[in-house]
Amino acid sequence: MNEIVLDEGLSQISLLTIYAAMALLALSFLISTFQLSRLATAPTEAEQSEGSVLVRVKTEVAGLEKAATAILVVATLVLGVGVILRGLAAQRVPWANMYEFAISSAWVILMIYLMSFFLKEVRFISALVSGFSLLTLGVATNAFYVEVSTVMPALQSFWLVIHVIVAVLATSFFYIGAALHITYLVKQAGWLKSAQRGTVATAKRMLDYFPTAETLDRFAYRFVIVGFVLWSFTLIAGAIWAERAWNRYWGWDTKEVWTFIIWVLYAGYLHAKATRGWSGKRAAWLGLIGFAAVVFNFTIVNLFFEGLHVYSGL
């Protein structure tokens, strides 16, 4: 095989770049949350005495939104550089251990979110996207970081490229679906709808600026179905690889078990969407449980369950 020369120096530059991206994400997150709070304090049309107040607040909010998005775009570019440098330092795809999977996922989530601007108006979940990516990168750099290393023979396969990147993509679509499900569930919450006073009422006023619950639900469904198709593909690609590497396509390894559980949960979500009495909040909860299983699969199963998918490098 070709000799691989690792570049730990380049990997350190990659890490610094990722820290820079985190700082930008934090800034974007703060601006997004500030923007949301401004929405909550904006006077309703009935309250305002002068029309100009509402216009002023709306302009200010739109400006904040633009700033948050612009910073998010820069953060995505910087993070992209960090991820690519990591790949160059290791001379392979940057998703062969938990740290790399996490940074790649954070990047892909941001890219999918930004690209979905062309199709749908989803900017209201900006804080959930920047916040989650920041959290992922924070955990990755603090808990999962490992120096660049060559991969063990079992991972030296073309399927590492396919199987894992599709898993990253599926995870990212599932996350944006989950973020939309969260906003949907908050918007549908009975205690929030009936709120008259206090902080809850303030939050309600903020949510009035969000799309309708039906729209949120529909958007979430769109992201989840793409995630589901990708997850089905990663399951099949994993089985093909397992047949090559371990002589069986399916062996109920802990990771295989959880991949199956996630698939079945999201299949349940899709059925719920077509079942009367289940298509609204219950389906949304199922979608969230599905994503919780994805997170569990990546963290707890990788770190604490015994199995063949030992690649965390920790």
Partner 1 sequence: MTSYQQSDDQLTREENEFSSGGVKLGAVGWARWFWRQLTSMRTALILLLLLAVAAVPGSVYPQRSADPNGVRLQFDENPDQAAFLDSLQLFDVYTSVWFSAIYILLFVSLIGCVVPRTQVHYRAMRSQPVKTPVNLTRMSAHQQVANPGVGTEDARQVLRQLGYRANVEGNAVSAEKGFIRETGNLIFHYSLIGLLIAVGVGGGLSYSGQRVLVEGDSFVNNLASYDSFSPGTFFEPQGLEPFTLTLDNFDVIYDLRNQANIGNPIEFRAEVTTRTETEAVSQLLRVNHPLAVPGGNIYLTGNGFAPVITVRDGQGNISFSGPVPYLPQDGNMTSLGVIKAPDSFPEQIGFISFFYPTVDLLPSGAYTSIYPDPIDPLLTMNVYVGDLGLDSGIPRNVYALDVTNMTEVAGRNADTAGLELTVGEQVSIPGGYGTVSFDGLKRYISVDIAQNPGGTWILLFSLIALAGVTVSLMVPRRRVWVRFDNEKIEVAALARGDDPRLESVVSEVIEKLKGSK
Measured from the CB atom, the residue of 103 and 286 that comes closer to partner 1 is 286
Q: How far is the CB of 311 from partner 1 (least distance, A)?
A: 13
Q: Which of 152, 201, 303, 314 binds partner 1 (CB under 8 A)?
A: 152
* Closest by CA position to 216, among listed 135, 134, 291, 281: 281
Smaller CB separation from partner 1, 118 or 191: 118
Long-range contact pairs involving 81-87 (C-beta distance under 8 Å, separation at least 24): 81/17, 82/14, 82/15, 82/17, 82/18, 82/20, 82/21, 83/14, 83/18, 83/107, 85/10, 85/11, 85/13, 85/14, 85/17, 86/11, 86/14, 86/148
Q: Which stretch binds partner 1 (CB under 8 A): 101-109, 123-131, 163-171, 232-240?
A: 232-240
Q: Which is nearer to partner 1, 29 or 223 (CB)?
A: 223
Under the binding rule (CB under 8 A), the answer on residue 310 touching partner 1 is: no
Instruction: Give the count of alpha carbons within 13 A of 138, CB side only.
Output: 10
Smallest CA-to-CA distance from 199 within 40, 93, 48, 9 is with: 40
**301 in contact with partner 1 (CB under 8 A):** yes
Among 151, 153, 156, 162, smallest CA distance to 240 is for 162
Among 6, 40, 74, 114, binds partner 1 (CB under 8 A): 6
C-alpha atoms less than 13 angstroms from C-alpha of 22 in its C-beta half-sphere: 16
Spatial distance between the Cα atoms of 241 and 243, rounded to a whole number of angstroms? 5
Nearer to partner 1, 26 or 270 (CB): 270
Q: Are 164 and 93 in contact (CB under 8 A)?
A: yes
147 binding partner 1? (CB under 8 A): yes
Binding mask 251-290 for partner 1 (x = CB under 8 A): xxxx--xx-xx--xx-xx-xxxxxx-xx-------x----
Among 16, 66, 243, 303, binds partner 1 (CB under 8 A): 243
Report which of 230, 33, 254 is spatially closest to residue 128, judged by C-alpha positions: 33
- Residues 85-114, mask of contacts with partner 1 (x by CB under 8 A): ------------------------------
Report how far residue 238's alpha carbon sits from residue 227's, in angstroms, rounded to the nearest whole number: 16
Which of 56, 248 has the CB closer to partner 1?
Answer: 248
**Site of interaction with partner 1 (CB under 8 A):** 1, 3-6, 8, 119-120, 147-150, 152-154, 156-157, 218, 221-222, 225, 228-229, 232-233, 236, 239-240, 243-254, 257-258, 260-261, 264-265, 267-268, 270-275, 277-278, 286, 301, 305-307
